[in-house]
Amino acid sequence: MGVGGGGGQAAVSAPAPVPAEEAGKDAEEGGGWTVKAKLIAAAVLVWVLGSAALWVFLHSYFRHAALRKAEEALVSMCEERARMLQDQFAVSVNHVHALAILVATFHYEKHPPALDQNTFADYTARTSFERPLLSGVAYAQRVVHADREGFERHQGWIIKTMKHEPSPAQDEYAPVVYSQETVSYIEGLDMMSGEEDRENILRSRASGKAVLTRPFRLMSNHLGVVLTFPVYHADLPSDAKEEDRVAATAGYLGGAFDVESLVENLLRQLAGNQELVVNVYDVTNISNPLVMYGSEVPLGNPSPSHICMLDFGDPFRKHHMVCRYRNKPHVPWSAISTPSGVFVICMLVGYIAGAAWSRYDNVKEDCRKMEELKKQAEAADVAKSQFLATVSHEIRTPMNGVLGMLDMLLDTDLTSTQRDFAQTAQVCGKALISLINEVLDRAKIEARKLDLESVPFDLRSILDDVISLFSSKSREKGIELDVYVSERVPEILLGDPGRFRQIITNLVGNSIKFTERGHIFVQVHLADHSNLATESKVEPVANGMNGHTDEKTAVATSVSLNTLSGFEAADSRNSWENFKLLLSYEKNEMPYESVSDKVTLVVSVEDTGIGIPLDAQAKVFTPFMQADSSTSRTYGGTGIGLSISKCLVELMGGQINFVSRPHVGSTFTFTAVLKRCDRSAIGDSKPVMLHPLPSSFKGLSALLVDRRPVRATVTKYHLQRLGIACDVVATIELALGVLSGRNGSSLTSMKQPCMLLIESDSWGFNIDVSLRSRLLEMKQNGHTHVLPKIILLAAAESGKLKEHYAVDSVITKPLKASALAACLFQTLGIKQSSNERSDNSGSLYGLLLGKNILVVDDNKVNLRVAAGTLKKFGAKVECVESGKDALALLQVPYKFHLCLMDIQMPEMDGFEATKQIRAMEAKANEQAVACDNSEIDGATRAARWRLPVLAMTADVIQATHEECTKCGMDGYVTKPFEEKQLFQALQKFLDPGMSC
């Protein structure tokens, strides 16, 4: 159609100077439409043929389905009839067995015998209704040749053969002594004179079971068999030997069984017999089957038919029942109507498609122009995404090698100068990676492709991690860095822990960068309580700034110096008075006003840094903007962190604001709407990383010496997280008074403290010697029973503080619950519980120790870096350079605990390799489910194979992450990766409590 359309347009638009040319073009146009018509005709023909083929397929399918259903019904009916036939035959055999017991009881166990011919004939005649399928029964006594003369004299007649002739001499005889009136003509006949009867008698007495003869015509002209049952002198055990059975045989009870009547009666009782033809055969000789019921029809004729085995209790003779339909199953109407309906629908669909295509052909030119405009409009966005992906991968791949090799280099023996060079290069590389992350985050935010997770997380653990990240920098500068979380904030919240951590890290990182003295204080409270504490003291704030008009006014404003470090803070609402009010709400357990499951947090980051100039405060949240050029030169940075933080806060349903005063400091405050999450609601679908604190300190008490109430409250908060009750005094003299109980001083904890914590700035000159001597004196005088451990709290890091101050231990700030617990374990000599001591899940070494990990990457430098990093933490690493090599190693059962898979590789990329791994696992799992072999234990059948596969990718855009999940990967780690990132990615797969 494209050819024809193009020719038509060319003819219309081309000039026609001479008639000959016009004729030529008309011919060309006509030729074009002919080709188009041929294509349309060919498409219509193919569509009609395809629809007809579909009709044939559906007809065949429904027809075969009907035949299969008919065969299943035939099998069910045949099995039912065979089962009922066997049951009714077994009833008749049981009645014959009962007669045998009657003969044995009244003929042989009674002296003289209580049974004679008249009694037997009368009894069998009166009970014949119980044996409607037996035309008659008779009893033949076993007579050996030595007893023949006496037997004949006693009976008054001689033993005769089946031909009514005197029986010739033989080892033993089986003359009929009792018979039912219907078969009285066989009385006195030797049953062993007939070849088949003799064979049946010998088999029945040897086996102790009923045996059958070949089918023959009865006097009623029906086909039947003779049933023979042995009668013994005494009861024999079921495992009696053959010679014992022969020796104990007294005689034989037999009866003529009417097989045709049995089958006829059975079929009359069941529905559907008019549809079936039933034949019963004796197939003891399979090459010459004998008909017992039905017409002479060969086995297996015609189809469909079904053959059932019949068990009449005789192990020697075999019988079959053959069932078949009287008429061939008809073709259901649905096999014609349904395919025909589908054929009609296909024709309608073809017509609609043809009309739609014709319409499409008419407007195609207009759409082409619109598509060109759309492609041009989207080109910039596509180019931007491709640029970000390319830049991310191309920069991160070599940076992974650079940082990895530097990390491995730092683990070797280096001189101080070499180590300084390597560390400097590592810091620069990490700064470059941080810059790349910020640029990509900003790009994702602008493209509205940044989505937040909703998983459970521990807010306090995240804040501890952030404090740890900046602890060394705060010690270098000698500034206080602390965090306080209200007791009313839930322990577990539902939200995006990574993005929440990013906001806090950006704010604290800015504060660390611009603060040279004083403190940085992070607080977290509930929004309702925070508003109540500050609503009466809110200062006028416009556009995130104080209401001051110039810097001089801002600097001159005085606030209380009762802060964390004693330095003035920018926001007076964070004063000690408001802080006390918030603490009182916690102690009074003021109820949280909201009844919903949402929690609105107020987080503030207060610093005493250089502040933000008033004329620059309006553009703080503008991307790539700094307060001024001198700030950028002095402190560095891109000015993108705050803009990203603002966007993340808004995505969390909150707002961010700040109060800043030049040369005083800044306080950034933001709100975040999260959800409550109970521990009981945390399941496999919502994994959460919890770092439980040790419980060994519960019940202990401490006495804290600190003259700054805000700082003392923060220290008390960390101690209470460990379960330690704490009292606070301002000076050491007051602490000694509390310990001695003088001046009316007492402890609110009502327990003698086992540790005395002293802030370094509360330590006076030469107080260490006098403090220890006075504590010893108090113990000797009986004022205190336990000499508390003296622990110094210091903001500056120094290895000689412990010896200089003569204390038991020194805890270096900033405080962190886990680090505080580790120090107290050593200082107090408390032994950790077994579960606390053996818990290695919090360290990467504990996760990777002894684990087999496969690393797949086509870049040899990246392979060395990944292998070196994993081996450093105790893992056993095997490396391959392509997806095909990885598949060769990854065969069920796995010898690896984890696979780290690069995405971009030649021959077979990480996506395709992961898909094949998942397909192989699915096949193995299906085989395990289907396997029901008793030799395979239940544990093997229940095994479910799934190897954790994590992508190693240098791309951090959302599309890459989505593709990882789509192809079956369990997660990803971005290159270059660090210890903390690896721990977070591998924890749920390599938990020491989990087995591979």
pLDDT tens digit sequence for 958-977: 556 777 888 888 888 877 66
Residue 555 pLDDT: 40
Q: Is the distance from CB of 183 to CB of 190 less than 8 angstroms?
A: no
Q: Supply the DSSP string of 723-777, one letter for each residue.
A: T-EEEEESSHHHHHHHHHTGGG---TT-S--SEEEEEGGG--TTHHHHHHHHHHH
| pLDDT higher than threshold 60 for residue 851 | yes
> 106 and 209 in one domain?
yes
Domain-located, residue 355:
no
> Looking at 54-68, 475-489, 734-748, which range is the least confident one?
734-748
In this prediction, residues 812-819 reach a mean pLDDT of 85
The answer as to whether 14 is a domain residue is no
Question: Is 554 a residue whose pLDDT tops 60?
Answer: no
**Do residues 426 and 469 share a domain?**
no
> Per-residue pLDDT tens for 374-418?
888 777 766 776 676 667 667 777 777 788 788 888 878 888 788
Lowest mean pLDDT: which of 149-153, 282-286, 438-442, 657-661? 438-442
Question: At 994, phi and psi to the nearest 5?
Answer: -95, 150
HSE at residue 207, side-chain half, CA atoms within 13 A, is 16
pLDDT at 531: 62
Which sign does the torsion angle of CA 932, 933, 939, 945 carry?
negative
Residue 272: its pLDDT value, please? 60
Q: How do residues 315-372 score in pLDDT, each as one tens digit?
A: 888 888 888 887 777 778 888 888 899 989 999 998 898 888 888 888 888 888 888 8
Q: Which among 293-302, 427-436, 505-514 has the top mean pLDDT?
A: 505-514
* The pLDDT of residue 654 is above 80: yes
Residues 644 and 566 both lie in one domain: yes
- Could you give the CA distance from residue 660 to residue 612 in angstroms, rounded to a whole number? 6
Q: Is residue 583 part of a domain?
A: yes
CATH code at 426?
1.10.287.130
Domain boundary among 293, 324, 358: 293
pLDDT of 690 strictly over 90:
no
- Predicted local distance difference test score (pLDDT) of residue 5: 40
Confidence at 991, pLDDT banded by 50, 70, 90? low
- Cβ–Cβ < 8 Å for 721, 817: yes
Cα 402 to Cα 411, 955, 976, distances in angstroms = 14, 17, 9
Given a cut of 70, whether residue 21 has pLDDT beyond it is no
More confident residue, 404 or 302: 404
94 vs 961, more confident: 94
- Same domain for 268 and 152, yes or no, is yes
Q: Tell me which of 210-214, 660-664, 682-686, 896-900 is least confident.
A: 682-686
Give 162's DSSP letter: T
Q: Which helix (H) or strand (E) holds 143?
A: strand 143-144
Q: How far is CA 443 from the centre of its chain?
A: 34
How far is 522 from 541, CA to CA, in rounded Å? 21
Strands in 290-293's sheet, in edge-to-edge order, are 290-293, 276-282, 319-325, 305-310
Mean pLDDT for 805-829 is 83
Nearest to 127 by CA among 182, 175, 201, 185: 182
Q: Give the pLDDT of residue 483.
A: 93
Question: Can you name the residues that pair with 149 across neighbouring β-strands?
Answer: none
Q: What is the rounded average pLDDT of the residues 431-459?
A: 77
The answer on pLDDT for 602 being more than 90 is yes
Residue 540 predicted with pLDDT over 50: no
**Does residue 686 surpass a pLDDT of 50?**
no
Quick one: which of 770, 802, 776, 800 has its CA closest to 788? Answer: 776
- Mapped onto helix, strand or coil, the DSSP state of residue 897 is coil
Alpha carbons 531 and 521: distance in angstroms, whole number: 19
In terms of domains, do 746 and 889 share one?
A: no
Q: How far apart are CA 586 and CA 94, in angstroms?
A: 89
pLDDT classification of 893: cutoffs 50, 70, 90:
confident
Q: What is the count of structural domains for the chain?
A: 5
- Confidence at residue 640, expressed as pLDDT on a 0 to 100 scale: 78
Work out the average pLDDT over 886-909.
87
Q: Which residue has the higher pLDDT, 588 or 820?
A: 820
8 near 29, Cβ under 8 Å?
yes
Check residue 655 and give its pLDDT.
Answer: 93
Instruction: Using CA atoms of 45, 50, 53, 57 in order, give the dihedral in degrees to the nearest 10.
Output: -170
Q: What is the mean pLDDT of residues 195-205?
A: 87
Identify the pLDDT of residue 559: 43
The mean pLDDT of 721-747, rounded to a whole number, is: 78
Average pLDDT of the chain? 78
Rounded mean pLDDT, 182-192 = 86
CB-based contact 11:24 (threshold 8 Å): no
Check whether residue 646 and residue 721 sit in a common domain.
Answer: no
Q: Is the pTM of this model over 0.85?
A: no
Read off the pLDDT band of 282 (50, 70, 90): confident
DSSP string, 828-846: HTPPPPHHHHS--TTSHHH
- Range with lowest mean pLDDT among 495-504, 709-718, 942-951: 942-951
Domain-located, residue 385 = yes
Rg of the chain on CA atoms, in Å: 50
Both tokens of residue 289?
Answer: 């089957």
CATH of the domain at 963: 3.40.50.2300
Q: Give the tokens for residue 719.
A: 């101690």
Whether 392 and 510 share a structural domain: no
- In the chain, the percentage of residues whose pLDDT exceeds 90 is 10
Instruction: Read off the CATH number of the domain in which 583 is found.
Output: 3.30.565.10
Residue with tokens 């004693």: 566
Query: pLDDT digit string (tens) for 562-579?
Result: 888 888 888 877 777 888
Q: Let me know the angle formed at the C-alpha of 386 by 383 and 388, rounded to the nearest 5 degrees.
A: 105
* Better-scored residue on pLDDT, 302 or 994: 302
Is a pLDDT exceeding 70 seen at residue 928?
yes
pLDDT score, position 742: 60
Asked if 265 and 168 sit in the same domain, the reply is: yes
- The predicted-structure confidence for 756-767, as pLDDT tens digits, reads as follows 888 888 876 556
Q: How far is CA 357 from CA 1, 8, 350, 351, 368, in A?
A: 10, 18, 10, 10, 15
Both 256 and 384 in a single domain? no
Pick the last residue of a domain from 429, 447, 465: 447
Integer Cα distance of 969 and 648 in angstroms: 27
Residue 206 contacts by C-beta under 8 Å, 6 or more apart in sequence? 242, 245, 246
Query: How many other C-beta atoms lie within 10 A of the C-beta of residue 789?
Result: 18
Domain-embedded: residue 512: yes
Predicted local distance difference test score (pLDDT) of residue 482: 92
Report the relative pairing of strands 541-542 and 656-661 from DSSP bridges: unpaired
User: Would you state the pLDDT for residue 173?
Assistant: 92
| 550-564, 794-808, 846-860: the lowest-pLDDT one | 550-564
Confidence of residue 13 (pLDDT cuts 50, 70, 90): very low
CATH number for the domain spanning 241: value is: 3.30.450.350
Measured between alpha carbons, how far is 900 from 630 in angstroms, rounded to an integer? 45
Q: Average the pLDDT over each of 683-697, 799-813, 894-908, 964-978 and give the range with the smallest value.
A: 683-697
- Report d(CA 196, CA 182) in Å as an integer: 22
Cis omega (within 30 of 0) for bond into 591:
no
In 3D, which of 774, 775, 733, 729 has the Cα closest to residue 748?
729
pLDDT of residue 255: 87
Q: How far is CA 739 from CA 19, 753, 755, 824, in A?
A: 123, 8, 11, 20
The pLDDT of residue 656 is 92
CB 651 within 8 A of CB 450: yes
If asked whether residues 216 and 269 sit together in one domain, one would say yes
CA dihedral 610, 612, 614, 617 (to 10 degrees): 180
pLDDT at residue 484, rounded to an integer: 93
What is the CB neighbour count within 10 angstroms for residue 249? 22
DSSP H helices, 411-564, are 416-446, 459-469, 471-477, 497-514, 527-534, 551-556
| 2 confidence band (pLDDT: 50, 70, 90) | very low
Distance, CA of 434 to CA of 431 (rounded, Å): 5
Q: Which of 103-107, 524-528, 867-871, 986-990 has the lowest mean pLDDT?
A: 986-990
Identify whether 55 is part of a domain: no
Sheet strands side by side (includes 949-953): 876-880, 852-856, 898-902, 949-953, 971-974
Q: At 524, is the pLDDT very low, low, confident or very high (cuts 50, 70, 90)?
A: very high
The answer to whether 760 and 704 are in contact (CB under 8 A) is no
Given a cut of 70, whether residue 157 has pLDDT beyond it is: yes
pLDDT, greater one: 561 or 911: 911
Q: Is-contact 870 823, C-beta < 8 A?
A: no
Residue 911 has pLDDT above 50, yes or no: yes
Give 173's strand partners: 143
Asked if 178 and 261 sit in the same domain, the reply is yes
Which is more confident, 225 or 795? 225
Q: Which one-letter amino acid corresponds to residue 236?
A: L
Q: Which residues contact 218 (CB under 8 A, 6 or more apart)?
A: 135, 224, 256, 258
Residue 764 and residue 787 share a domain: yes
Q: Average pLDDT, stretch 42-62?
A: 90
Characterize the bridge pairing of strands 725-729 and 541-542.
unpaired
- State which of 28-42, 44-58, 224-238, 282-296 shows the largest mean pLDDT: 44-58
Question: In which domain, by residue range, is 620 found?
Answer: 455-532+560-587+596-627+638-676
Q: What span, in angstroms and rounded, lies between the C-alpha atoms of 438 and 443?
A: 9
Least confident window among 7-16, 715-724, 733-742:
7-16
pLDDT of 634? 52
Share of the chain above pLDDT 70, in %: 79
Could you tell me if residue 601 is inside a domain?
Answer: yes
DSSP state of 314: -
3-state secondary structure of 545: strand
H/E/C letters for each residue in 185-253?
A: HHCCEEHHHCHHHHHHHHHHHHHCCCEECCCEECCCCCEEEEEEEEEECCCCCCCCCHHHHHHHEEEEE
Does residue 166 sit within a domain?
Answer: yes
Q: Which of 770, 794, 828 is the last residue of a domain?
A: 828
